[in-house]
Amino acid sequence: MQQKAPIKLDDRIYILDGFDLGLEERTGTYVIMEEDITLVDTGPSTSIPHVKKGLETLGISLDQIKYIIATHVHLDHSGGAGLLMTECPNAKAVVHPRGARHLADPSRLVAGARAVYGERFDELFDPVVPIPEDRILEMTEGDTLKIGEACTLEFWDTPGHANHHISIYDPVSNGIFIGDTAGIRYEPLIQDGVAFFPPSTSPNQFDPDKMQQAIDRFMAKNPDVIYFGHFGASTSPNETLHQVSEWLGVFMEEAKAAAAKREGHAALTERILTRVRTHLRELGVPDDHRAYKMIELDMDVSAMGIVNYLEKSAKRVEG
């Protein structure tokens, strides 16, 4: 696949395409060009050659990188952090306290991903390199990190997608790096003038109430921009977040209908995809649009997370 040039979002923030899952515009690594060069998410290890090339294009040497922030430790976002850290001698990894142990010892993450991806694990994620504990910096609600004379990042505890998820407020851009807490942005649709922002409800820590609380918090901040893990930035954040909230309601509505008929994961996936296809057709998107390669994957994984949430909720009620 062809290396893509860094995408300039403003005078100090760029996004690098890591070709996660072999797909263009799937998962991004953000570069914040302050006195202390800071990255937000690395993607999996297979993305690291693309990240390194992007940094080289920006004129950044690996020893200039000071912080590598993981919004959360899912392998598509931070699986490559350890590998990159081996070549960034002055960098510290920044992560939620609940995620720190998984960066230091990723064996449970690897086992979980192998169970899901099977033989494709090596192709998609290998290697997942541990990070020495003394190079891990824990950040949670209210913590701050000064990365420039006029830039102190603020960290928020934002569960909903994952219990160890942090979001990062950047005061200079009045922007929030939201990881997976508040939706997915499909660049191929944006390029065709179509705005579609569903939530990411993947297993196994999805919680719709916590996700909605995080969305509400983002909107209350009235940001000028939000930076998605998948993929790129929205400069109409409140409209975008309202749509994520609406689709979260649709997903849960379909989940309740499926549960009432004792339907499982596959049926819920099809229910959600039917709603999505109907909506996108009304916006002029053909069923063979290239975005569907990602959408179908995302809706399948999101349905899996919702089923997992409902099963755990039922067990709590029974208990």
**Per-residue pLDDT tens over the stretch 239-289:** 999 999 999 999 999 999 999 999 999 999 999 999 999 999 999 999 999
The reply to whether 308 falls in a domain is: yes
Q: Which of 246, 160, 250, 238 is nearest to 206 (CA)?
A: 160
Does residue 183 lie in a domain region?
A: no
| Residue at a domain's end among 114, 140, 173 | 173
Domain CATH for 93? 3.60.15.10
Residue 14 pLDDT greater than 80, yes or no: yes
Number of domains present in the structure of the chain: 2
The single residue listed with the structure tokens 């009304």 is 282
Do both 263 and 119 map to the same domain? no
State the Cα–Cα distance between residues 48 and 57, nearest whole angstrom: 14
Instruction: Give yes or no for residue 319 having a pLDDT over 90.
Output: no
| 302: confidence class by pLDDT, cuts 50, 70, 90 | very high
* Residue type for position 222: N
Work out the mean pLDDT of the chain and round it to a whole number: 96
Give the domain extent around 35. 7-173
Phi/psi of residue 191, nearest 5 degrees: -65, -25
DSSP state of 79: T
- State which of 173, 193, 218 marks the end of a domain: 173
One-letter-per-residue 3-state SS of 136-171: EEECCCCCEEEEECCEEEEEEECCCCCCCCEEEEEC
Last residue of a domain, one of 140, 173, 206: 173
Residues 85, 91 contacting (CB under 8 angstroms): yes
DSSP type of residue 174: T
Let me know if residue 262 belongs to a domain: yes
Whether residue 186 has pLDDT greater than 60: yes
pLDDT in tens, 188-230: 999 999 999 999 999 989 999 999 999 999 999 999 999 999 9
How many Cβ atoms sit within 10 Å of the Cβ of residue 238?
A: 15
Q: Which residues contact 245 (CB under 8 A, 6 or more apart)?
A: 212, 215
CB 128 within 8 A of CB 111: no
Q: In sequence order, what DSSP letters do the residues of 14-35 get, joined into one string? A: EEEE--GGG-TTSSEEEEE-SS
**Does residue 193 form part of some domain?**
no
pLDDT interval class at 161 (50, 70, 90)? very high
Query: pTM for the full model?
Result: 0.96
* φ and ψ of 144, to 5 deg: -130, 160
Q: Does the residue 206 lie in any domain?
A: no
Residue 259 and residue 122 in one domain: no
Say if residues 172 and 150 touch (Cβ distance below 8 Å).
yes
Phi and psi torsions of 6, nearest 5°: -55, 140
Residue 12 burial (10 A CB sphere; 0-12, 13-18, 19+):
middle
Q: Which residue(s) pair with 270 in the sheet?
A: none
Residue 317 has pLDDT above 70, yes or no: no
State residue 318's pLDDT score. 62
Q: At 59, list the tokens.
A: 């004129």
Look at residue 39 and tell me whether its pLDDT is greater than 80: yes
**DSSP assignments along 254-307, one per residue:** HHHHHHHTT--HHHHHHHHHHHHHHHHHHTT--TT-TTHHHHHHHHHHHHHHHH
Query: In angstroms, what is the C-alpha Rg of the chain?
Result: 19
- Cα–Cα distance measured from residue 41 to residue 74, given in angstroms and rounded to the nearest whole number: 10
Within 8 A by CB and 6+ apart from 242, the residues are 219
Closest CA to 178 of 211, 209, 145: 211
Residue that is written with structure tokens 């930035």 in the block: 233
In a domain, 252, yes or no: yes
Which residue is listed with tokens 């979002």?
Answer: 9
